[in-house]
Structure 1
Amino acid sequence: MPTQRPRHLALTAMPVLFVLLWSTGFIGAKYGLPYAEPFTFLFVRFALTLALLVPLVFFFKGSWPRDIALWGHIAVSGLLVHGAYLGGVFYGIYLGMPAGLASLLVGLQPLLTAALAGPLLDERLSRWQWLGLSLGLVGIAMVLGSKLDPGAALFQGFGLPALLAVLVALLGIACGTLYQKRFCTTMPLLSGTVVQYLAAGVLLGVGALLFESRQIDWSPTFALTLAWLVCILSIAAILLLMALIERGEASRVASLFYLVPPVTALQAWWLFGEHLPPIALLGMAIALGGVVMAVKAKRRAVKAPGR
């Protein structure tokens, strides 16, 4: 029993740590994008990440994907989870969307993932889970409503292209989570992540060549931001996400993303002065209650047959 307690605490802390780390990605985008265009920024980030990850695979004597088909599936999941998701988020913020609002829009992922997990992965949600996910949607809608500017074309500071970019990110992370759970369950963690970043890096590199000037202002702020995103986000947080996906159903893992928007919005308020009216704070509380309900309902459903 004494030896099991540290393990239990570590497993319990994994989702909390993931949320804290993942939420800083939006803040990093806000800090770094004044110094580099989004696709160029992400290409450099992925290149540096690969330079650190590949030696780790050999140092830990990790295995590589066993066949060409698995390599292809891992590459597709990387295009979705890293290419579409991060490319969409960074491009939306680059076009003027506040970091907190980008996080809130992508926070709709659990509902989309849960809706698709049934037909694709045969994961059935209980009514309590749907209620919890719906509460999360209501909470996020309240925060979005507080950002509306009736006198502008859409929202303050940005328009439809930024919104579409973040919706692409939402679709990418939802489909990527399901695709990986369906086709990449035997993916070696370290080497599989290398394949994912390689595929996403090629995609974003092509985007940078076709659509951007590829100029970078290597200021201290940009260098420190890039170091954080490479070491903490692209390695630590992503490996933690992959481990969480392996340990639980896709819909349950996706519910963690409801916790990211409140954390990100609070960080953006503190660091950038992004406004948080009372209705937004209430919406965050409702979203938090929804994710707790969804996760607890799943645990009860798993334990019920043993009664």
Structure 2
Amino acid sequence: MVLPSRLLGMLPALFVLLWSTGFIGAKYGLPYADPLAFLVARYALVIVALSLLAWVGKAVWITNSTQLLHLAIAGLLLQATYLGGVFIAISHGLPAGLTSLLVGLQPLLTALLAGILLGETVGKYQWLGIATGLLGVVLVLAQKAGVATAHNLSWYEVTPALFALLGITFGTLYQKRFCPHFDLRTGSVVQFVPSLIITALLVPVMGEWHIEWTGHFLFALGWQVIVLSLGAISLLNLLIRQQGAINITSLFYLTPAVTTLIAWVLFDEVLTLQQWLGMALTMLGVWLVRRNPLAKAVSR
């Protein structure tokens, strides 16, 4: 599917906005559910919704075994590993700000690996943008992350966030390399099914089947399914199809800043001058990364 250039230009901003609202799920949902049980419910509803959309739209289901395998692996990295790591880290007590900071290292890690795995050239302005964006993220989250040092962080809290970082990084690179083009309805079902199975198997090992079906939880679950899984992740798949991996992952630098702005608007959280400066540096960094014409994927 080839999108009009005007619409394509709007996708990054819309993706950042939707992705940044992911904190709503953690804020409202995790107090009422085991993190993995929460994700099982989310994956199950997404699979049902996408299957209905595929049936109504008479979408063609993928039958090629190689493509099915690639989609399943990408899905396990982008869904089960990334989301599972983030939800577990927060449920273990890691502050959301520090979790965002750790996962926010993704653009740097992607830049280091993109040349090896995808043959993408990282220009000097992109390296400058990556460094500037990382500094901006640190400034935005420094105060929240600093709170975490007061209770002596443990590997029990940090390790899931590091797995999430590896999952979103390698998932983006893997999908870009092996399966960038697929029907967003049927292909996404293929990605979510193995994540549902693996996550369900891990629930009794790493947690428990516990969900309190409160109004807060139902709101959080609905938001995660509709806005995040059907909206933001579909946009991420489109961006992976259309753009270079470094350009895509640079957008994740913006999510902590946008999340902070949303919290400022909705929850009256105070923004310091340091955080405003961090947001400005983050936007400058992403602009430097995405303006560079030198990042080109080498055909393999």
Q: TM-score over 0.5 for the alignment?
A: yes
Verify: 1:85 aligned to 2:82, yes or no: yes
Verify: 1:127 aligned to 2:124, yes or no: yes
Which residue of structure 1 aligns with residue 224 of structure 2? 229
Structure 2 Cα separation of the partners of residues 19 and 175 of structure 1? 19
From 52, 56, 64, the equivalent of 1:55 is 52
Matched to 1:63, the amino acid is V
Which residue of structure 1 aligns with residue 13 of structure 2? 16
- How many residues align? The count is 293
Task: Say whether the 8 Å CA contact 2:80–2:199 is kept in structure 1.
Answer: yes
In structure 2, do the counterparts of structure 1 residues 161 and 268 end up closer, same or farther at CA, with 3 Å as the change threshold? farther
TM-score by length of 1: 0.88
Report the more deviating stretch, 279-288 or 53-62. 279-288
Identity of aligned residues (%): 46
Aligned with 1:29: secondary structure?
helix
Verify: 1:219 aligned to 2:217, yes or no: no
Report the more deviating stretch, 211-220 or 136-145. 136-145
C-alpha RMSD of the superposition: 2.2
From 179, 184, 198, the equivalent of 1:203 is 198
- Aligned-pair CA distance for 1:106: 1.6
Unaligned segments of structure 2, at least 5 residues: none
Matched to 2:291, the amino acid is K
Structure 2 Cα separation of the partners of residues 144 and 19 of structure 1? 17
- Aligned-pair CA distance for 1:271: 4.8
Structure 1 Cα separation of the partners of residues 159 and 267 of structure 2? 23
Structure 2 Cα separation of the partners of residues 204 and 285 of structure 1? 38
Matched to 1:183, the amino acid is F
Structure 1 Cα separation of the partners of residues 245 and 219 of structure 2? 33
Structure 1 Cα separation of the partners of residues 210 and 235 of structure 2? 32
- Aligned-pair CA distance for 1:256: 1.1
Which residue of structure 2 aligns with residue 32 of structure 1? 29
From 286, 292, 295, the equivalent of 1:291 is 286
- Aligned-pair CA distance for 1:215: 1.6
TM-score by length of 2: 0.90
Which residue of structure 1 aligns with residue 91 of structure 2? 94
Matched to 2:209, the amino acid is R
For residues 1-307 of structure 1, the aligned pairs below 5 Å read 7-146=4-143, 147-149=145-147, 152-154=150-152, 159-271=154-266, 276-298=271-293, 301=294
Aligned with 2:121: secondary structure?
coil
- Aligned-pair CA distance for 1:272: 5.6
Task: Say whether the 8 Å CA contact 1:139–1:287 is kept in structure 2.
Answer: yes
